[in-house]
């Protein structure tokens, strides 16, 4: 995709010179996406085949491009007093030929193994990807940086050279001692681990973790926002990663949000029941129940089976048996209007599930 951030920043700074009330950066990005022929900025970001020819074609008909721009202005409820200068500023700063391609975040996610598909990146591309995500404060990029550093930490923690012996040779080299080739490798490995540890400390600060992207499942289901990059990622795997690499910024609400996405991606009787047991909103509870029915799963039914009491294996009619499992949920009584609302939410989930199932 192409990076519109620099343009949106320039437009915003120009508007601030003349107005005390200005649109947000996200609103400016939405307007530029509309100008380029996209319904939303999210759809612009998701376009993997975008090129300069496509962008130039979209704005070749200036009347149509401006019509899209004006329509989006109205959708965003931007004051009329800002509209004219905002349009002029966007046009002034917008130049397709000066846009720089931005490394595809989904390709980085595929490289990290957290999105469907494979991205075969050259070493130079891997380096460019890493440099691209290293300092950005964008929430989606921060999430990819978090995963990248977690993987890096796992790799180094399993490195056989990372030991007290490695630190010894590293300290010897720091003191100016000439090392053998083997000792040099041990020292190099230890130095890489020190750098990884420092990045981990920075990464797992509360400030850094607070920037991690969230799928905002409830908002998406209520059609209050479009699915972001998170919806294309393996939520179950990321949940485990978050729980194994906790920091102050990873809250219960954050984990609950990712758990909802994990259930949508892989709805089973057990994970639907576990989710339902923690829901306080009766309409949402019914929505998940109805969604389960659409997946041939009834979470009001119990789920028990017999295992061999001695071995723990499934009972084969020999030996002592013990029942294991869990009860289904009990649904609260709700009004007809609440039932209709739940049905609409469940239908929205059904539409979403085909695009997020992993």
Q: Is the predicted pLDDT of residue 131 greater than 60, yes or no?
A: yes
Q: Is the predicted pLDDT of residue 99 greater than 70, yes or no?
A: no
Q: How far apart are CA 78 and CA 81, in angstroms?
A: 8
β-partners of residue 305 are: 324
Q: What pLDDT is attached to residue 127?
A: 80
With a pLDDT cut of 90, the percent of the chain lying above it is: 35
- Tens-digit pLDDT profile for residues 36-94: 888 888 888 777 556 666 677 777 888 888 888 888 888 888 887 788 888 888 777 77
Q: What pLDDT is attached to residue 292?
A: 97
User: What is the pLDDT averaged over residues 202-214?
Assistant: 67
Q: What pLDDT is attached to residue 163?
A: 53
User: What is the pLDDT averaged over residues 216-239?
Assistant: 93
Q: What pLDDT is attached to residue 295?
A: 95
Q: What pLDDT is attached to residue 338?
A: 97
- Tens-digit pLDDT profile for residues 247-302: 777 899 999 999 999 999 999 999 999 999 999 999 999 999 999 999 999 999 99
Q: CB burial class (10 A; 0-12, 13-18, 19+) of residue 149? A: buried
Q: Is the predicted pLDDT of residue 176 greater than 80, yes or no?
A: yes
Compare 154 and 190 and report the one with higher pLDDT: 190
Q: What pLDDT is attached to residue 50?
A: 61
- Cβ neighbors of 289 (< 8 A, separation 6 or more) are 276, 299, 300, 329, 331, 342
Other C-beta atoms within 10 Å of 22: how many? 20
- Tens-digit pLDDT profile for residues 286-301: 999 999 999 999 999 9
- Tens-digit pLDDT profile for residues 319-338: 899 999 999 999 999 999 99
Short-list 130, 104, 123, 124, CA closest to 115: 104
Mean pLDDT, the chain, rounded, equals: 84
């Amino acid at each position: 995709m192409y990076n519109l951030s620099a343009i949106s920043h320039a437009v915003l700074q120009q508007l601030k010179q003349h107005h005390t009330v200005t649109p947000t950066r996200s609103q400016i990005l939405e307007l530029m996406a509309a100008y380029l022929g996209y319904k939303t900025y999210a759809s612009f970001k998701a376009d993997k085949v975008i090129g300069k020819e496509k962008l130039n074609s979209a704005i070749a008909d200036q009347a149509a491009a401006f019509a899209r721009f004006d329509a989006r202005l109205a959708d965003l409820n931007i004051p009329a007093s800002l509209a004219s200068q905002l349009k002029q500023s966007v046009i002034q700063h917008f130049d397709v030929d000066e846009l720089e391609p931005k490394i595809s975040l989904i390709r980085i996610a595929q490289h990290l193994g957290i999105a469907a598909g494979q991205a075969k990146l050259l070493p130079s591309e891997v380096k460019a990807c890493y440099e691209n995500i290293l300092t950005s404060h964008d929430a989606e990029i921060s999430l990819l940086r978090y995963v990248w550093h977690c993987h890096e930490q796992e790799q180094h923690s399993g490195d056989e050279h990372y030991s007290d012996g490695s630190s010894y040779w590293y300290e010897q080299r720091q003191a100016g001692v000439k090392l053998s080739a083997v000792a040099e490798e041990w020292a190099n490995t230890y130095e890489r681990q020190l750098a990884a540890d420092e990045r981990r400390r920075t990464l797992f600060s509360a400030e850094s973790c607070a920037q991690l992207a969230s799928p905002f499942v409830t908002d998406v289901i209520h059609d209050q926002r479009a699915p972001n990059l998170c919806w294309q990622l393996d939520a179950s795997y990321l949940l485990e990663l978050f729980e194994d690499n906790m920091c102050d910024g990873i809250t219960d609400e954050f984990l609950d949000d990712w758990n909802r996405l994990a259930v949508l991606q892989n709805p089973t009787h057990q994970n639907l029941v576990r989710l339902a047991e923690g829901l306080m909103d009766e309409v949402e509870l019914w929505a998940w129940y109805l969604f389960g029915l659409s997946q041939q799963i009834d979470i009001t039914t119990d789920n028990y089976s017999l295992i061999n009491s001695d071995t723990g294996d499934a009972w084969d009619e020999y030996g002592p048996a013990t029942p294991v499992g869990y009860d289904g949920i009990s649904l609260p009584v709700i009004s007809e209007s609440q039932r209709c609302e739940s049905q609409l939410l469940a239908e929205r989930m059904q539409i979403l599930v085909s695009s997020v199932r992993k």
